[in-house]
Structures are given as structure tokens and as C-alpha cells.
């Protein structure tokens, strides 16, 4: 059962006294979005307050029964928020959740003909049929590749986690969710990427957008290494070491560090192709090509250092 905090109650009281304040409106909306119990608590407090106010009005001015305009505004705003929260929770609960627990790559077609390829442990949620005005789905964790076709002027929106929105008409792109960042790599078409509190970023083929605590950043990818989990190949042709190591870390799920004293090597170019080699073998080849030492500590972390 929901136990309201003093701060939550104080927020509602302040909102009742100043329903036109946009900051308070946002805070009330955030409180209601925390869950159905929070939403119900806000509505009940408003109803109790409104009922008390009407009783006081009947006692002192029995012929008018008028509620001040500002309080009617508060009623309208909270009712609208309640409807929005209800639709939000209902729409989320009616989605089909597809979680890949097979240990292998899985793929399927969505109702609009879009193709979704899920890496092991990836999870997405989508409706049985898309809305006429918007094709919207959610990605909850892991890594996945999407190939989205044009569909009768219906924009496509993918909500990644709780903070990143991707909007497009038709495109092919890869999404990877890590603990501290979300990376979106586009192979075809155009994707608009927006993080919470960030300006929209336009991604075209060969560009990768990264959303992290640092904000929203864009980088040029020389290789298609972001798709290595899907293709099973690591192919590098004059690719900067910085990008090569990023691909290796993601593909093998390992830690590879370059100390500050050796950061100059990150700009060196690597040309090499791998298909079934293990992580250590790949790193050995890369380190020899650029002329650096490769070491490994007790925790399994790899280090590239200058000779």
C-alpha cells in the first residue's frame, strides 16, 4: 500500500494553491507517473480538498456554491493528468513483451513489416497492431537491430529505456543498451535521436549517437563493427584503434584499457579481419600491428601499453 511522504503531500498542497505554475504541473505529473497508487493518492487528496471547499462554501454562502476559478483549474489539470497516466499504464500493460532467452540471436517481423533482430538477453515490447498515426514500441534492455520500412505516412518511434526517443520514417539501425549508456548506430536512412533534456540529434548512415551521463554525443564510425554480434565477423580496414577497441569490448564483453600515457596510440589505424578467434588472440594481433604491449591482470582486464 502506498505510503505518501511529507514532501509528496506538500507538493500537492502547493499545486492546489498555484495550479498555473508549470514547474508544479511537471512535478505533479512526475509523481503520478510513478505508479497507479501515487496517481490515486493525488486524485483522492484533490477530491477531499474539493469536497471540503464546497461544504465551506455552502455553509457561508448558500445561494452561490461557487468554487474559485483557480481551483477549477487545478481540478481540470489533475483530471487531465489522471487520464494521461491511465492511458500510459494501460498502453504499457497491453503490449507484447519479447525477451530473447534462447542464448542465440532471434528475429521476427512486427505487424508493419519491420524486422527486429534481438541479441541474447535483449527485450522489446510492442502492440499487436500499431496505431494509425504512429508505430511505437519500446526497448527495455540488451542489443537489437531494426529494419523499418515506410508505412503509409506512419512515423516510427522506438523508446529506449526511459530517456531516449528514436524517431524515423524508414531506416535500419542498431541499438545497444549498457549500464551507463545507449548507443545507436545507423546503417541506412535517417534517425532522430533525443535524450532527456538534450537537443535532437540527426543520425545518418555511418554515424553513431551515444547517450550517457555526459549527455548526447555523435561520432563517425569507420567500420560496421557495431554489427559484429549479428554478423559474427570483425572487419577493420584503416580503422582507428579507439573504434577497434570499442568493438572488441562490446563483442567479447571484456575490459580493455589504455593508460593516459599511451593515449596517442588510439589514433593509429588497424587493418585486420577476424571471424572465430578468441578475445585474447584478437588483441594479440592488434597489439602487434600497432607495436604495443598487451598484458592481463588477475581480474581478467587487458591493458595496451607503450613499449
213/103 same-domain check? yes
What's the distance, Cα to Cα, between the start and end of the chain in Å?
A: 62
> Does residue 262 sit within a domain?
yes
113/209 same-domain check? yes
Find the CATH number of the domain harbouring 205: 2.60.120.1440
Predicted local confidence at residue 237, as pLDDT = 97
- Domain count of the chain? 3
Predicted local confidence at residue 42, as pLDDT = 72
210/153 same-domain check? yes
Instruction: Give me the domain span that covers residue 285.
Output: 225-306
> Does residue 201 sit within a domain?
yes
Contact 284, 277 (CB under 8 A): no
User: What percent of the chain lies above the pLDDT cut of 90?
Assistant: 61
72/181 same-domain check? no
- Which of 220, 245, 263 lies at the terminal end of a domain, its last residue? 220
> Does residue 233 sit within a domain?
yes
> Does residue 158 sit within a domain?
yes
Query: What's the average model confidence in pLDDT over 10-38?
Result: 74
82/101 same-domain check? no
- Which of 162, 188, 220 lies at the terminal end of a domain, its last residue? 220
Q: What is the mean pLDDT of the chain?
A: 85
> Does residue 35 sit within a domain?
yes
Q: Phi/psi of residue 128, each to 5°?
A: -60, -40
Cell of 63: 445561494
Cell of 244: 577497434
pLDDT tens track for 114-170: 999 999 999 999 998 888 889 999 999 999 999 999 988 899 999 999 899 999 999
- Which of 220, 251, 273 lies at the terminal end of a domain, its last residue? 220
**Would you put residue 153 in left (φ > 0), alpha (ψ -120 to 50) or beta?**
left
Predicted local confidence at residue 177, as pLDDT = 97
pTM above 0.75, yes or no: no
Amino acid at each position: 500500500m502506498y505510503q505518501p511522504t511529507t514532501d509528496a503531500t506538500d507538493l500537492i498542497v502547493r499545486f492546489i494553491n498555484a495550479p498555473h505554475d508549470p514547474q508544479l504541473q511537471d512535478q505533479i505529473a512526475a509523481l503520478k507517473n510513478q505508479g497507479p497508487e501515487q496517481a490515486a493518492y493525488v486524485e483522492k487528496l484533490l477530491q477531499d480538498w474539493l469536497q471540503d471547499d464546497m461544504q465551506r462554501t455552502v455553509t457561508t454562502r448558500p445561494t452561490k456554491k461557487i468554487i474559485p476559478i483557480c481551483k477549477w483549474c487545478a481540478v481540470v489539470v489533475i483530471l487531465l493528468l489522471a487520464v494521461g497516466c491511465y492511458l500510459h499504464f494501460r498502453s504499457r500493460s497491453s503490449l507484447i513483451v519479447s525477451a530473447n532467452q534462447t542464448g542465440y540471436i532471434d528475429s521476427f517481423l512486427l505487424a508493419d513489416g519491420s524486422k527486429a533482430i534481438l541479441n541474447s538477453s535483449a527485450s522489446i515490447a510492442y502492440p499487436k497492431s500499431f496505431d494509425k498515426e504512429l508505430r511505437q514500441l519500446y526497448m527495455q534492455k540488451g542489443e537489437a537491430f531494426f529494419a523499418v520500412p515506410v508505412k503509409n505516412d506512419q512515423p516510427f518511434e522506438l523508446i529506449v529505456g526511459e530517456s531516449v526517443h528514436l524517431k524515423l520514417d524508414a531506416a535500419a539501425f542498431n541499438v545497444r543498451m549498457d549500464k551507463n549508456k545507449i548507443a545507436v548506430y545507423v546503417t541506412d536512412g535517417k534517425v532522430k535521436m533525443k535524450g532527456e533534456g538534450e537537443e535532437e540529434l540527426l543520425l545518418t548512415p555511418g554515424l553513431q549517437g551515444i547517450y550517457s551521463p555526459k549527455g548526447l554525443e555523435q561520432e563517425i564510425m569507420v567500420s560496421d563493427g557495431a554489427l559484429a554480434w549479428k554478423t559474427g565477423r570483425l572487419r577493420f580496414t584503416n580503422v582507428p584503434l579507439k573504434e577497434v577497441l570499442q568493438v572488441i569490448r562490446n563483442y567479447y564483453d571484456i575490459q580493455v584499457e589504455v593508460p593516459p600515457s599511451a593515449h596517442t596510440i588510439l589514433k593509429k589505424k588497424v587493418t585486420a579481419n577476424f571471424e572465430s578467434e578468441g578475445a585474447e588472440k584478437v588483441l594479440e594481433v592488434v597489439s602487434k600491428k600497432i607495436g604495443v604491449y598487451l598484458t592481463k591482470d588477475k581480474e581478467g582486464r587487458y591493458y595496451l601499453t607503450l613499449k
